[in-house]
Chain A
């Protein structure tokens, strides 16, 4: 079976999740998966619409996401009364922006 980069990246993520589970149980798994889901994925979907290298998208996404996701949460939480709900709203909003950009714009 030929292993492509995408499959290898998924395997790598699974290995990291497995280690976090071995070290800290469900809490570790939830934390690492949550970081991937909230702090990385939405910005990655947005950056996917631009002409950048695959590795550039991955690294830029995490570093931008880790700072700008909570910033957006903080602003939205001025309006939305619950932090938990705001996290969800921010996540959905960023995913929608990523999908919108994918649909609307050609690669820059």
Chain B
């Protein structure tokens, strides 16, 4: 690493750290959607209980699956590393939220540095810096970070660095000067990627295979020979040793493998990624962003130019990027073979920006080579284009990114200090397996963060019936023994008709339940009751839906 690299990487890191931590700088309480709360819960419990776990506590276990068909009740739902790191951060940072959210921000923007590294090693410092700079403001990645599919995002960040180490190994093999260390590094990185989230490997594996095939054809050499068979077997063994203990998490986790291949949606093959709104509704809002907004209309022509350059030049490094492009295209069309649904597949688009920005920059810096001019003039034009790129990215994508991050989950859209306070009271005072019917918090993610911070299973009004009908609840004869009514959000919003109505209804409803309740804790805006006899209210009666 030379001086220029150290300076450029430091600049990128400082800007990314400042920008991506804006949501926690403005308000140190946790943010994100329901998934964000669940992911936070796992690391939080490890740190708070001073022990990592194989069996989740009930408030985590019942959340999604509750039962792994192979590993049994309350088994882990993800390999431990990404979540356990959150717990480690709490311990080393000495605080419950800020260290975790610094870690989350860093793992979610790691893709900037893995892509920088790949492009730096293959194409030089200037293209790498431009790619890294553009990626800092990549809105799709920022939105996924804010919403909460954070281990997936972190897993995708491994793709460029894995491609680099595999490229180094495979090139050395093709040249007959084998460097097995790069293959060992590749499998360690792939195992790490798997540990963060399986989704990353869905892109990495086909890209690596496609690259191996393309390069083998180019060099007319078989990828597996007598000389590297032993290395490949050892590497496969290392990968299996590291990953196998956790494979059952996915196999018994409730997902269904396709039973038959059915060809469908053929027309989508003529698009990079095509989806109906309904396919991605409630699954992955990032898919809704138009490309003009993500990359800017002014940068998209460079994407096509970059692809043309790669196709014309076809050096080994160009073939790597083309393999990545082909691999991405293939995995984005798995639904044509009825493997995975479009909504789930659309999550893979998070990794698209690394590839597209890389190709855009290659298009940009190579554009100048087309023009016949003295080299000094070419340099001037090159640097003028670079400056234009930096200005346009900063003024368009940068502005958008700043405003998105700076305004994320403001006010009562995030759990408030008041709610955090009573969550801590619940944690200290209610039985560990208490189930708490909760009414009042205005968003589902807030409800889930209160649930996580109180270490108790909170059942909101909209899920009350479905909770009672859950097979696990029936089987274990679980009953809801506590009621939490929190008016703190509703009082702030009571001037809006909808919330005013809900506030009045809840007050009346609370009054009507009094014979069945014993007050155990009262705050300025909330009350917690012990329910004398289990009751079942009709959720349909409530004139309320989460924001």
Contact = CB atoms under 8 A, between A and B. Distances in A.
B52 interface: yes
A51 B182 CA distance: 10
A26 B539 CA distance: 46
Contacts of A70: 80-82, 84-85, 88
Contact of B181 (A3, A50, A55): A50
Interface string B107-133: 100100110010011000000000000
Given A50-B181, A73-B88, A20 B117 contact: no
B102 A52 contact: no
A5 B3 contact: yes
B6 A82 contact: no
A28 B102 contact: yes
A63 B92 contact: no
B309 interface: no
A63 to B, nearest CB: 5
A34 B157 CA distance: 21
Contacts of A100: none
Interface in B264-313: none
Given A5-B1, A27-B99, A73-B88, A83 B10 contact: no
Nearest to B180: A108
A16 B10 contact: yes
B85 to A, nearest CB: 5
A64 to B, nearest CB: 5
Contacts of A26: 94
Given A3-B3, A55-B5, A64-B189, A23 B84 contact: no
Interface residues of B, number: 62
Contacts of B30: none
Contacts of A84: 50, 91
A74 B191 CA distance: 15
Contacts of B193: 67
B87 A83 contact: yes
B9 interface: yes
Interface in A6-40: 8-9, 12, 15-16, 19-20, 23-24, 26-28, 30-32, 34-35, 38-39
Contacts of A31: 89, 92-93, 98-99, 102-103
A54 B51 contact: no
A5 B52 CA distance: 39
B10 A64 contact: no
Contacts of A8: 3, 6-7
B196 to A, nearest CB: 6
A54 B158 CA distance: 19
A34 to B, nearest CB: 3
A38 to B, nearest CB: 7
Contacts of B7: 8, 12
A20 B16 CA distance: 12
Given A67-B191, A82-B51, A83-B46, A58 B1 contact: yes
Contact of A60 (B6, B89, B161): B161
B51 A74 contact: no
B51 A68 contact: no
A51 B181 CA distance: 8
A84 B24 CA distance: 25
Contact of A34 (B54, B89, B110): B89
A24 B84 CA distance: 22
B165 interface: yes
B113 A59 contact: yes
Contact of B1 (A9, A23, A24, A81): A9
Interface in B65-104: 79-82, 84-85, 87-89, 91-95, 98-99, 102-103
Nearest to B158: A63
A38 B191 contact: no
A68 B188 contact: yes
Given A19-B14, A67-B196, A74 B52 contact: yes
Contacts of B232: none
A63 B200 CA distance: 14
B114 A59 contact: yes
B64 interface: no
A34 B191 CA distance: 23
Interface string B174-187: 00000001000100
A81 B3 contact: no
Given A23-B18, A38-B92, A70-B81, A83 B47 contact: yes
A101 interface: no
B180 to A, nearest CB: 8
B297 to A, nearest CB: 33
Interface in A39-80: 39, 50-55, 58-60, 63-64, 66-68, 70-71, 73-74, 77-78
B161 A63 contact: yes
A27 B93 contact: yes
B224 to A, nearest CB: 22
A99 B87 CA distance: 27
Interface of A: 3, 5, 8-9, 12, 15-16, 19-20, 23-24, 26-28, 30-32, 34-35, 38-39, 50-55, 58-60, 63-64, 66-68, 70-71, 73-74, 77-78, 81-84, 86-87, 108
28 contacts: A5-B1, A8-B6, A12-B10, A19-B17, A23-B17, A26-B94, A28-B102, A30-B94, A31-B93, A34-B89, A34-B99, A35-B92, A35-B103, A35-B106, A39-B85, A52-B185, A60-B189, A63-B161, A64-B185, A64-B189, A66-B85, A68-B242, A70-B81, A73-B52, A74-B81, A74-B84, A83-B49, A87-B88
Given A55-B121, A63-B161, 15 more contacts: A5-B2, A24-B25, A27-B94, A28-B102, A35-B89, A55-B1, A55-B5, A55-B117, A63-B158, A67-B192, A68-B191, A71-B195, A71-B242, A87-B88, A87-B91
The 6 closest A-B pairs by CB, nearest first: A67-B192, A34-B92, A55-B1, A31-B93, A31-B99, A70-B81
